[in-house]
Amino acid sequence: MGIAVEKELGAFRGEEMVLNIGPQHPSTHGVLRLKVHTDGEIITKIIPYIGYLHRCFEKHCENLTYEQAIPFTDRCDYIGSMNNNFGYAVAVEQLMEIKVPEKVEFMRVIVAEMNRISSHLLALGTFGLDVGAFTPFLYCFRDRERILDLFEMLCGARLLYNYIWVGGVSHDFPVGWVEKTYDFLDYFEPKINEYNELLTYNKIFIERSADIGVIPSDIAVSYGVTGPNLRGSGIRWDLRKDDPYSIYDRFDFDIPIGTGAMGSVGDCWDRYYVRVRELEECIKIIRQALDGMPRDGDVHATLPKKIRPKSGHVYSRTESPRGDLGYYIVSDGSDIPSRLKLRSPAFTALSCLDEIARGWMISDVIAILGSLDIVLGEIDR
Amino acid sequence: MDFVGIVESINAKFGKDFASIDEEVSEETVRITPEQWGQLAPFLREEPELFFDAMMCITGIDEGEDSENLAVVYNLHSMKHNHKLEVYVSTLKNDPKVPSVEQIWRIADWFEREVFDMYGIEFDGHRDLRRILLPSDWEGFPLRKDYEFPETWHGIVVNKMKEGWE
């Protein structure tokens, strides 16, 4: 539609106007500044300016020991902290060749998938908020709150957990936690239908998101777009299945992809709906993991006294709620990493904004940005 | 394709000593010069048997205060064949220049800007090479090992980083 409108208005092309969105704007999901070049209402170019939340994560890590870097990874993607801890732990364990106990693997998968649910709920809610639906946001936060309560019971923190350590986890599950998690799943599973009725099949919402901001699959791959955004473009690619880490190869779950049910493949609605369907898959994984988890075992059994990997390097990636989360770690044999690079999925997703938003209206840019589910903490690090 | 196969097909195209495996550093890394990278990158992307269509990560590295080299590490992945490759391109600290691959993998646009921002490595052929995370008037390249922290920035006192943590 966007390109057609542009052609139609071609003869009346007016003067270019530059509009500044952000850095303080609720729909930019943090502190992101967009310089939008417009022709009337139609976007001709977008230049994102990032770095407002730059906290020198990589520089700090070169002065911290390996253990001390874990709380910093929490703060990179503060919506999916467990997944960030998980990725870091997997990378350092690969470097040190640690094999953690079976029970720890299950526990990690459970908390990571719980965090994926809470992250997706936030993404769905705020996407609705961006396109003008306020109520679903409250429903999503109501359920997200329960997960945060469970995490609070688990490790005391509600947002920045520092839970998954290199070689183990910080605490065993408290008494009654597993039962409470079962209760939560029983409660949560029917709620997905509620979101569908409220938002997914809402006529106004479909009008705002279907056929808008299509990412063709080749563009998505070239821009390194990963996670639900890539799957929304119809590519069945998920690290948990295609390059399994930890024990993900033992679980039975599907990878939902965008089908273009409401418009065309890779539009905002597809990206949104992939996240909704992933909620169901997360529930499946958590149930299997809770059932299969060994009940006894020491979660600190393989915790190294001192983390001092032999010199070498590793690039390891895991599937965070936003996509491929990569850590490139260079060790020089000391207890401080000589280089630690975080490849964040939101960074790559944002970089394609200019490409996909051209030709659309300003209000569509807000919808596209919301559907990409970016977290600025992770982009700026 | 496994790593040895990938190296063989690279060497079959460019000559037998083009890509060497340095087993001391890593068994899975190809180490080359910036000039070689300019030739190799389009080949890796286009060759149907290799077809590295996804750039996973680009990392800048300072090899240490004693070394004269900076390096750029490219982690490539093929969605079609599901194989990976790591390419290690080292360049001189006093004249760091590496050919840009921004037009081959579009994500390299921002990744290369980030490496430039942090290490000052110039990417030849990049169409929009400017700082990305730091303010445009920032001086120096913070992730170099010999970087000295400024005392003030626009009149704001910059806190000194502590020497070691208690």
Q: What would the pLDDT profile of A190-223 be if each residue is shown by its tens digit?
A: 989 888 888 888 888 888 888 888 888 888 888 8
Model confidence band, residue B161 (pLDDT cutoffs 50, 70, 90): low
The pLDDT of residue A22: 76
- Residues of B whose CB is below 8 A from A315: 56-57, 73, 75, 86
To the nearest whole angstrom, how far is the Cα of B120 from the nearest Cα of chain A?
15
Cβ proximity of A14 and A341 under 8 Å: no
Q: Which residues contact A295 (CB under 8 A, 6 or more apart)?
A: none
Q: What are phi and psi of A340, to 5 degrees?
A: -135, 115
Half-sphere exposure of B25 (CA within 13 A, CB side): 12
Q: Summarize pLDDT for B90-104 with one digit per residue, the tens.
A: 888 888 888 988 888
Contact B82 A242 (CB under 8 A): yes
Tell me how far apart the terminal alpha carbons of chain B are, to the nearest angstrom.
Answer: 48
Q: Is residue B42 pLDDT above 50, yes or no?
A: yes
pLDDT surpasses 80 at B85 = yes
**Residue B24, pLDDT above cutoff 80:** no
Please state the rounded mean pLDDT for residues B110-117: 90
Comparing A8-22, A57-71, A327-341, which segment has the lowest mean pLDDT?
A8-22
Residue A380: predicted pLDDT: 87
pLDDT tens-digit readout, A153-167: 988 888 888 889 888
Task: Pick the residue of B132, B143, B158, B166 with the most A CBs within 10 A to test the interface with A by mutation.
Answer: B132
Q: What number is the ipTM of this complex?
A: 0.86
* Sequence spans of domains, chain A: 10-380
Q: Nearest to residue B113, comparing CAs of B89, B125, B131, B135?
A: B131
Residues of the domain holding B9: 3-157
Q: Tokens 């990976």, residue? A: B84
Cβ under 8 Å to B: A residues 22-51:
50-51
Architecture of domain A10-380: Orthogonal Bundle (1.10)
Contacts B26 to A, Cβ<8 Å:
312-313
- Does position B160 have pLDDT exceeding 60, yes or no? yes
Q: What are phi and psi of B50, to 5 degrees?
A: -95, -60
Measured between beta carbons, the chain A residues lying within 8 angstroms of B133 are 50-51, 54, 380-381
- Best of B22, B31, B57 to substitute, by most chain A Cβ atoms within 10 angstroms, is B57
At A218-269, the pLDDT tens digits run 888 888 888 899 998 888 888 888 888 888 888 888 889 888 888 888 888 9
Which chain B residue has the Cα nearest residue A224?
Answer: B107
Do the Cβ atoms of B50 and B58 come closer than 8 Å? no
Spatial separation of the C-alpha atoms in residues A374 and A30, rounded to whole Å = 9
Cis peptide before A23 (omega within 30 of 0): yes
All residues of chain A having their beta carbon less than 8 Å from the beta carbon of residue B110 are 347-348, 351
Distance of alpha carbon A339 from alpha carbon A116, whole angstroms: 28
Q: Say which DSSP state B26 is in.
A: -
pLDDT tier, B149 (very low <50, low <70, confident <90, very high otherwise): confident
| Predicted confidence band of residue A120 (pLDDT cuts 50, 70, 90) | very high
Burial class of residue B147 in the structure, from the number of CB atoms within 10 Å of its CB (0-12 exposed, 13-18 middle, 19+ buried) = middle
CATH assignment of the domain containing B36: 3.30.460.80
Mean per-residue pLDDT, B48-53: 83
Q: What is the mean pLDDT of chain B?
A: 82
**pLDDT of res. A13:** 63
What mean pLDDT is predicted for residues A118-141? 89
What phi, psi does B61 have (nearest 5°)? -140, 135
- Alpha-carbon distance of B117 to B125, in angstroms, equals 16
**DSSP letters spanning B46-78:** H-TTT---EEEEEEEEE--SS-SEEEEEEEEE-
Cβ separation B57–A330 shorter than 8 A: no
Whether residue B56 and residue A224 make contact (CB cut-off 8 A), yes or no, is: yes
Record the pTM: 0.87
Does residue A4 carry a pLDDT above 60?
no
| Nearest CB neighbour to A343, from listed B56, B109, B132 | B56
Those residues of chain B whose CB sits closer than 8 Å to some CB in chain A are 25-26, 53-57, 59-62, 64, 73, 75, 79, 82, 86, 105-107, 109-110, 118, 131-135, 142-143, 161-162, 164-165
State the pLDDT confidence band at A1, using cuts at 50, 70 and 90: very low
Look at residue B166 and tell me if it is in a domain.
no
pLDDT band at A184 (very low <50, low <70, confident <90, very high): very high
The reported pLDDT for the residue numbered A132 is 85
- Whether residue B153 lies inside any domain: the answer is yes
Contact B53 A352 (CB under 8 A): no
> Under the phi-then-psi rule, with left for phi > 0, alpha for psi from -120 to 50, and beta for the rest, what region is B12?
alpha
The one-letter amino acid at A60: H
Per-residue confidence (pLDDT) for residue B46, from 0 to 100 = 83
Average pLDDT of the residues in A142-150:
91
CA gyration radius for chain A? 21
CB A66 within 8 A of CB A331: no
How far is A136 from chain B, CA to nearest CA, in Å? 34
**C-alpha angle B33/B34/B36, rounded to 5°?**
65
The Cα A352–Cα A1 span in angstroms is 19
pLDDT digits (tens, 9 = 90+) for A307-338: 888 888 888 889 889 888 999 998 888 888 88
Residue B31 within a domain: yes
Q: What is the mean pLDDT of residues A103-108?
A: 90
Per-residue confidence (pLDDT) for residue A118, from 0 to 100: 92
Residue A165 has φ and ψ, to the nearest 5°, of -105, 165
Distance from CA of A218 to the nearest CA of B (A): 9
Q: How many domains does chain B have?
A: 1
Cα–Cα distance, A195 to A324 (Å, whole number): 26
pLDDT tens track for A18-56: 888 878 777 667 788 888 888 888 888 899 898 888 888
From the list B60, B79, B86, which residue is nearest A315 (CB)?
B86
Tell me which DSSP letter residue A361 carries: B
How many CB atoms lie under 10 A from the CB of residue A360?
Answer: 23
